[in-house]
């Protein structure tokens, strides 16, 4: 029995020694790669996800951050308990893209262990439709949401959306003419500057100061053909956007170009009366890039930090969009006809009335447009 006791004691000692050695190794590893504040440049296709932001404790709705945090833990960048409580790694995303919305230039800030081959190791644990394309060191107090001065979104749509309602349109045959494109751009330019966008979101009154937003640019580029359908991309850059704002801005321009609403409705929408503004489908909306001009001026050339510009990664971003974002938008449009179905709901909107009769119309159009999910432009968490 003494021999057995000795063996057990030796066994316990060996286990203790092994555990101590493992802890020392981990400590040594942590010393070699201490935690540092960084930003990651992310690109992802949002189809099949309930947005960017993680809902801890809810496995019912899968988000982009669920996959990201899992990859950070598995690659050894963050301890497992940091994945359960994201505040421990000072995690912050620049914009909360919503259900189905993609991103080509999302930025997240967090503290990680700067392990060797960090990008390769994180990407090895991510699905191919989510990629980390770049990494930069930032100041210790950096917060990707608060330090962001502006965001650029794109919206890819089939050009038959601009065909006049009185014309019988064969969707695959339709091509956008120069005059219509000029009209689209003239209308989009009306949004530039500071306006009261209370009619372009829900739950904001006309006197709510936060409904005032500053749009720097908005235009539609030259059309191009993919899979026999002609598409165009609308770009919009603004300080920040409210929920549904971009989709409603585009929805109203489509309604005007198609002949459902008068051009004067845009000017009227800035006023205090409630205007019925249709919300274009969520498919096609992409967070293109986020801007940190003030941060770059202050810290970009201080000799310790790099400016948050991604010129070297631009080719990777373009390749990712061609491989994962554009094909998803094109194929989903072909299969589900989200734009064509939504266009059929425009006739039930009353663009001449103010608040009267709008509730009934909103109920009728809710089923077709809300299935797409919101555009996730509530960057400032209003």
pLDDT of res. 173:
93
Q: Is 153 annotated as a binding residue?
A: yes
pLDDT of res. 20:
58
CB-based contact 276:358 (threshold 8 Å): yes
pLDDT for residue 358 is more than 50: no
Measuring CA to CA, how many Å separate 23 from each of 26, 27, 54, 76, 376?
Answer: 5, 6, 31, 15, 43
Please state, in angstroms and rounded to a whole number, the distance separating the CA atoms of residues 380 and 158.
30
The string of DSSP letters for 164-176 reads -TTS---TTT---
Question: Would you state the structure tokens that stand for residue 44, as one six-digit string?
Answer: 């992802």
pLDDT in tens, 110-163: 999 999 999 999 999 999 999 999 999 999 899 999 999 999 999 999 999 999
Q: How far is CA 222 from the centre of its chain?
A: 23
Give me the mean pLDDT over the 41-58 stretch: 87
pLDDT for residue 6 is more than 90: no
pLDDT of res. 344:
94
Count other C-beta atoms under 10 Å from residue 65's C-beta. 22
Question: Would you state the structure tokens that stand for residue 174, as one six-digit string?
Answer: 């339709």
pLDDT bucket at 99, cuts 50 / 70 / 90: confident
Please state, in angstroms and rounded to a whole number, the distance separating the CA atoms of residues 189 and 177.
19
pLDDT for residue 348 is more than 90: yes
pLDDT for residue 32 is more than 60: no
Q: What is the DSSP letter of 323?
A: I
pLDDT bucket at 380, cuts 50 / 70 / 90: very low
pLDDT for residue 88 is more than 60: yes
pLDDT in tens, 172-184: 899 999 999 999 9
- Domains of the chain (ranges, CATH numbers): 33-146 (3.30.70.580), 149-293+304-352 (3.30.70.660)
pLDDT bucket at 42, cuts 50 / 70 / 90: very high
pLDDT of res. 1:
63
Please state, in angstroms and rounded to a whole number, the distance separating the CA atoms of residues 198 and 244.
11
DSSP run (H or E) holding 92? strand 92-93
Q: Which of 333, 348, 282 is nearest to 159 (CA)?
A: 333
Q: Which residues are catalytic?
A: 98
CB-based contact 193:225 (threshold 8 Å): no
pLDDT of res. 18:
58
Q: Which percentage of the chain shows pLDDT scores above 70?
A: 82
Measuring CA to CA, how many Å separate 271 from each of 134, 240, 275, 277, 357?
Answer: 43, 20, 9, 13, 19
pLDDT of res. 144:
93
pLDDT for residue 360 is more than 90: no
pLDDT in tens, 213-260: 999 999 999 999 999 999 999 999 999 999 899 999 999 999 999 999
Give whichever of 13-27, 291-305, 334-348 has the largest mean pLDDT: 334-348
Residue 127: HSE in the Cβ half-sphere, 13 Å Cα cutoff: 13
pLDDT for residue 284 is more than 50: yes
CB-based contact 56:83 (threshold 8 Å): no
Please state, in angstroms and rounded to a whole number, the distance separating the CA atoms of residues 120 and 33.
16
The whole model's pTM is what? 0.83
pLDDT for residue 22 is more than 60: no
């Amino acid at each position: 029995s003494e021999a057995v006791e000795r063996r057990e004691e030796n066994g316990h000692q060996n286990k203790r020694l092994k555990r101590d050695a493992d802890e020392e190794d981990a400590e040594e590893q942590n010393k070699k790669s201490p935690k540092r504040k960084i930003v990651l440049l992310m690109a992802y296709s949002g189809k099949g996800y309930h947005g960017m932001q993680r809902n801890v404790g809810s496995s019912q709705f899968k988000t982009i951050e669920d996959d990201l945090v899992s990859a950070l833990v598995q690659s050894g960048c963050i301890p497992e308990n940091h994945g359960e409580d994201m505040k421990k790694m000072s995690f912050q995303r620049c914009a909360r893209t919503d259900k189905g919305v993609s991103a080509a230039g999302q930025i997240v800030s967090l503290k990680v262990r700067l392990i060797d081959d960090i990008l390769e190791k994180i990407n090895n644990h991510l699905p191919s439709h989510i990629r980390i394309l770049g990494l930069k060191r930032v100041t210790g107090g950096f917060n990707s949401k608060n330090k962001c001065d502006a965001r650029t979104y794109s919206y890819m749509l089939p050009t038959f959306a601009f065909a006049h309602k009185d014309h019988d349109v064969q969707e695959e045959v339709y091509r956008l003419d120069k005059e219509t494109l000029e009209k689209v751009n003239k209308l989009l330019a009306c949004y530039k500057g500071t306006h009261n966008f209370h009619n372009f979101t829900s739950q904001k009154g006309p006197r709510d100061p936060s409904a005032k937003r500053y749009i720097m640019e908005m235009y539609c580029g030259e059309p191009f053909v993919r899979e026999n359908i002609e598409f165009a991309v609308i770009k919009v850059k603004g300080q920040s956007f409210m929920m549904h704002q971009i989709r409603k801005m585009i929805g109203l321009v489509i309604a005007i170009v198609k002949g459902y609403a008068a051009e004067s409705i845009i000017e009227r929408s800035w006023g205090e009366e409630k205007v019925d503004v249709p919300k274009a489908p969520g498919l096609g909306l992409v967070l293109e890039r986020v801007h940190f001009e003030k941060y770059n001026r202050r810290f970009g050339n201080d000799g310790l930090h790099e400016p948050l510009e991604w010129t070297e990664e631009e080719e990777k971003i373009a390749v990712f969009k061609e491989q994962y974002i554009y094909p998803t938008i094109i194929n989903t449009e072909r299969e589900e006809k989200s734009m064509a179905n939504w266009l059929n709901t425009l006739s039930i909107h009353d663009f001449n009335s103010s608040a009267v009769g709008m509730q009934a119309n909103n109920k009728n159009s809710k089923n077709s447009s809300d299935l797409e999910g919101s555009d996730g432009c509530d960057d400032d968490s209003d």
